[in-house]
Amino acid sequence: MGLACASANGEARTRFDGIRTTAYTYGADQNGSGNETRNALGKPLKTGKLQSAAADWSQWPVGTHFRVVETGQEYVVDDTGSALVGTNTIDLFKSSARAMNNWGVRHVTIEIIEWGSPEKSLDILRDRTRVKHNREMVQKLEKVLAT
């Protein structure tokens, strides 16, 4: 599967129905890293009006800003997760375990406010290929960007 931003006719899509979402919160048990409050860019996880989201950067490039239609909440893809690669699932950051558990798994409609950059995603991930899921994203991004 290529980047989610391209429709069948090659036009940029801005609305996606039925996107599987999960949730994560602070802590190594939830986000799979030893640095509990940081995203994949090394910056603090975002809370408030614009929140962090983790995704497969070969489908949802870093910097992709979107709104969940059902809730009106806005997110930016600034994190990754090993269980997300190839799944078309977006993991939404929540500021508490309770909020994370209340979210559970939901299929939602998202509207893209601004697409992120596949080139930036590739630049960031190229130095992180010791990890399998990063290697997979790099391979997909290189293939898409070569066309």
| Distance, CA of 93 to CA of 45 (rounded, Å) | 8
The whole-number pLDDT of residue 93 equals 96
Phi/psi of residue 99, each to 5°? -65, -40
In the chain the domains, ranked by start, together with CATH numbers, are 15-146 (2.40.40.10)
Q: Please report, for residues 16, 30, 89, 119, 142, the alpha-carbon distance to residue 3 in angstroms, rounded to integers and kept in the order given.
A: 13, 26, 13, 12, 11
Whether the Cβ atoms of residue 59 and residue 144 lie closer than 8 Å to each other: no
The tens digit of pLDDT for each residue in 1-27 reads 345 555 444 557 799 999 999 999 986
Question: Across-strand partners of 24?
Answer: 93
pLDDT of 34 higher than 60? no
- The vertex-75 CA angle with 71 and 78, nearest 5°, equals 155
Using DSSP's 3-state secondary structure scheme, residue 66 falls into strand
| Distance, CA of 53 to CA of 61 (rounded, Å) | 11
pTM: 0.85
The tens digit of pLDDT for each residue in 104-143 reads 999 999 999 999 999 999 999 999 989 899 999 999 999 9
Interval 67-81 mean pLDDT: 97
Longest CA–CA span in the chain (Å) reads: 44
The whole-number pLDDT of residue 4 equals 54
The whole-number pLDDT of residue 9 equals 43
Q: pLDDT-derived band of residue 36, with 50, 70 and 90 as boundaries?
A: low
Interval 62-77 mean pLDDT: 98
Interval 52-81 mean pLDDT: 97
With a pLDDT cut of 70, the percent of the chain lying above it is 86
Beta strands (DSSP E) in 3-128 are 15-24, 50-54, 65-68, 74-79, 89-93, 106-114
The whole-number pLDDT of residue 147 equals 83
